[in-house]
Amino acid sequence: MLLDFNSEKPIYLQLAETLEDDILKGIFEEETQIPSTTEISMNFKINPATAGKGVNLLVDEGILYKKRGVGMFVCSDAKGKIFEKRKKAFYNNYIVALLSEAEKLKISKNEIIDMIGKERSKT
Amino acid sequence: MSTIEISNLTKCYGKNMALNDLSLDITEKKIYGLLGRNGAGKTTLLNLMTNKIFPTHGEIKVDSETVFENENALRKIYYMTEKGLYPEDMKIKDIIKWSSEFYPNMVPSRAFELAEKFDLDLNKKYKGLSTGYTSILKIILTLSSNAEILLFDEPLLGLDANHRDMFYKELIHHYGNTPKIIILSTHLIEEVADIIEEVIIIKNGKLVLKKTTENLLSSGYTISGKAEDVDAFIQDKKVIGTDTIGRFKYAYVLGTPPSKENDQVDKMDLEITKLDLQKLFIQLTNS
């Protein structure tokens, strides 16, 4: 888990995204427990209320759930939900941003497609 | 459940008014940052809260009971002061045992455990401690006091980066296990900005604001870019302050940030970022 404290994004959102990343990577598997809010806030040295806000966001989205007296767990369909959500965000976060930066740099649509092709063939 | 009510508090030292009719209620179990410039009245306020000095006017109540010479109210507070008050020749382990006689809720085993974590030599005499280790000893005593309210006055004095890191973690750990009112008075604003849930800023003995860190930081934004463009943009805005580096200018503006698609912002290539607590503090407390 990593947070960027200089980022424009509020820390609780960054925390929620990092937890999602870790679920996608399989660091936190479905139906397993994630660290407690106190552990998370100690690790990042952030206020427990901030950590709680990030975790609760994922509870509201059905990615985490609370087992009373035990702690927070990853929902069984969490990965699928995150994939869906991220795909929707992909267009806004990457495609729109890419095109606006390309316009500033006067990069044409064909040049962008070439670049993507080149990068893809590497892998 | 602990609450602190401060009403119309004034403290004069001769003609000098250290606190000027300050009223403030602290009712929620949160980590608070008490911020103010040198001489703003932070330590005076903490000293008054713990009956170390007496107010000229006004009153402080803990759970509706005055703290003025009231052992029952004072017992609920543990105050980590800047100045140490221990006998010079006393060994650290004896200071811990001695303190737990004064504070019956103190858990000496917790203090010994923390001493080991912080590498504090229990057989050293108090006078042999460096500035950093003097702070560490006081931090350890405060964190193991089990008091309902913890006050820290410049707890980070002389601590190296590793020890500061440990302090923050232990503080959060303690708060996580037993949520309570914790007041942190410090000048290291940048370091504590993400830890404190609520900010209390005082200036010239008066309360400037008390707000959650989140609300405070979202009450405005920073806009930066070429100086003349920034100037044009902020013309009709409420500006708290500016910084200029060469032809580049930062302005700290109150209000909702304009959207990125805003024509002016887009054309002038201005950058919008969030406010940062330290910069905001400097702007709110200078002059």
Q: What is the pLDDT of residue A115?
A: 92
Candidates B172, B173, B192, partner chain A, best to mutate (most A CBs within 10 A) = B172
Q: For the sheet with B198-203, list strands across it.
A: B77-80, B149-153, B181-185, B31-35, B198-203, B206-212
Same domain for B157 and B27: yes
Smallest CA–CA distance from B217 into chain A, residue: A10
Candidates B165, B173, B194, B222, partner chain A, best to mutate (most A CBs within 10 A) = B194
Same domain for B247 and B128: no
Same domain for B152 and B102: yes
* A-B C-beta contacts closer than 8 Å: 43
Last residue of a domain, one of B184, B216, B248: B216
Same domain for B281 and B181: no
Same domain for B208 and B232: no
The H or E element that residue B37 is part of is: none
Same domain for B186 and B44: yes
CB contact under 8 A, B274 and A47: no
Same domain for B192 and B267: no
Q: What is the pLDDT of residue B27?
A: 95
- For B173, counting Cβ atoms within 10 Å of its Cβ (0-12 exposed, 13-18 middle, 19+ buried), the class is middle
From CA A50, how far away is CA A13, in angstroms rounded? 9
The H or E element that residue B2 is part of is: none
Same domain for B230 and B212: no
CATH code, B113: 3.40.50.300
Residue A21 confidence (pLDDT) above 90: yes
Q: Show the domain range for B266.
A: 219-285
Per domain, the residue ranges of chain A are 11-77, 79-122
Same domain for B123 and B225: no
Same domain for B137 and B252: no
Residue A123 confidence (pLDDT) above 70: no
Q: What is the pLDDT of residue B151?
A: 97
SS3 sequence of B203-261: ECCEEEEEEEHHHHHCCEEEEEEEHHHHHHHHCCCEEEEEEEECCEEEEEEECCCCCCC
Place of tokens 């400037």: B208
Global ipTM: 0.75
Same domain for B39 and B11: yes
Phi and psi at B98, nearest 5°, equal -65, -45
- Closest Cα of chain A to B176: distance in Å? 5
The CA-based angle B29-B35-B36, given to 5 degrees, is: 150
Tokens of A99: 């095109």
A38 neighbors B31 (Cβ within 8 angstroms)? no
CATH classification code of A11-77: 1.10.10.10
Q: What is the pLDDT of residue B253?
A: 92
pLDDT, tens digit, 9 for 90 and up, residues A59-96: 999 999 999 888 999 999 999 999 999 988 898 888 98
Residue A42 confidence (pLDDT) above 70: yes
Q: How many structural domains are present in chain B?
A: 2
Q: What is the pLDDT of residue A6?
A: 64
Q: What is the pLDDT of residue B66?
A: 94
Q: Which residues in chain B come in under a pLDDT of 70?
A: 82-84, 260-261, 263, 287
- Closest Cα of chain B to A10: distance in Å? 9
| Chain A residues in contact with B173 (beta carbon < 8 A) | 38, 42
Last residue of a domain, one of B159, B183, B216: B216
Same domain for B230 and B111: no
- Closest Cα of chain B to A52: distance in Å? 11
- Calculate mean pLDDT across residues A43-63: 94
- Closest Cα of chain A to B57: distance in Å? 35
CB contact under 8 A, A47 and B197: yes
Q: What is the pLDDT of residue A69?
A: 84
CATH code, B252: 3.30.70
Residue A2 confidence (pLDDT) above 80: no
pLDDT grade for A39, boundaries at 50, 70 and 90: very high
Cβ neighbours for B218, distance < 8 A, ≥ 6 positions apart = B274
Last residue of a domain, one of B201, B216, B231: B216
